[in-house]
């Protein structure tokens, strides 16, 4: 029973993480120069549903590479060319590095905490 409650309570958090990740990706796409399109006809809405969702996918049109990110849940499509794609890759790499540096700094702060000087404080001592 307790495991079932735990799994139910974790469910909404996982959805929230996906939403946060999607928001971050869409922010990076916009910053890189991708154009956001909102489907304005039933045909476009139906087509948006058929695309690979929440992944950047390469396509070729008139001999040129384009990159598409479909988000049917939020009713959006992002489209960019080669230059936008390269800027997105640079921004995504910079964001990953910043997150890794933040995590390393937090780990260093945790390691610097001298728990021994505070004595036992666990209720089972």
Per-residue pLDDT band for 17 (boundaries 50, 70, 90) equals very low
- Residue 94 within any structural domain of the chain: yes
What pLDDT digit, counting tens, does each position of 68-107 carry?
A: 999 999 999 999 999 999 999 999 999 999 888 888 888 8
Q: Is residue 115 scored above 80 in pLDDT? A: no
Per-residue pLDDT band for 108 (boundaries 50, 70, 90) equals confident
- Residue 39 within any structural domain of the chain: yes
- Residue 80 within any structural domain of the chain: yes
- Residue 115 within any structural domain of the chain: no
Q: What is the pLDDT of residue 66?
A: 97
Q: d(Cα 95, Cα 104) in Å, to the nearest integer? A: 14
Q: d(Cα 34, Cα 111) in Å, to the nearest integer? A: 41
The residue count for the chain: 125
Give the total number of structural domains in the chain. 1
Of 66, 110, 111, the residue nearest 84 (C-alpha): 66
- As a whole-number percent, the residues of the chain with pLDDT over 70 amount to 76
Nearest 5°: the CA angle 84, 77, 68 is 45
Q: d(Cα 51, Cα 42) in Å, to the nearest integer? A: 15
pTM: 0.67
- Residue 114 within any structural domain of the chain: no
- Residue 7 within any structural domain of the chain: no
φ, ψ at 37 (rounded to 5°): -120, 135
- Residue 78 within any structural domain of the chain: yes
- Residue 81 within any structural domain of the chain: yes
Helix or strand (DSSP H, E) at 14: helix 2-32
């Amino acid at each position: 029973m307790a495991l079932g409650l735990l799994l139910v309570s974790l469910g909404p958090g996982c959805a929230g993480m996906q939403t946060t990740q999607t928001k971050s990706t869409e922010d990076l796409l916009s910053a890189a120069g991708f154009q956001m399109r909102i489907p304005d006809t039933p045909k476009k809405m139906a087509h948006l549903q058929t695309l690979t969702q929440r992944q950047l996918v390469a396509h070729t049109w008139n001999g040129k590479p384009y990159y598409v990110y479909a988000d049917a849940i939020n009713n959006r499509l992002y489209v960019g060319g080669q230059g936008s794609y390269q800027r997105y890759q640079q921004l995504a790499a910079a964001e990953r590095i910043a997150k890794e540096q933040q995590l390393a700094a937090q780990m260093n702060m945790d390691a610097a905490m001298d728990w021994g000087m505070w004595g036992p404080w666990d209720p089972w001592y």
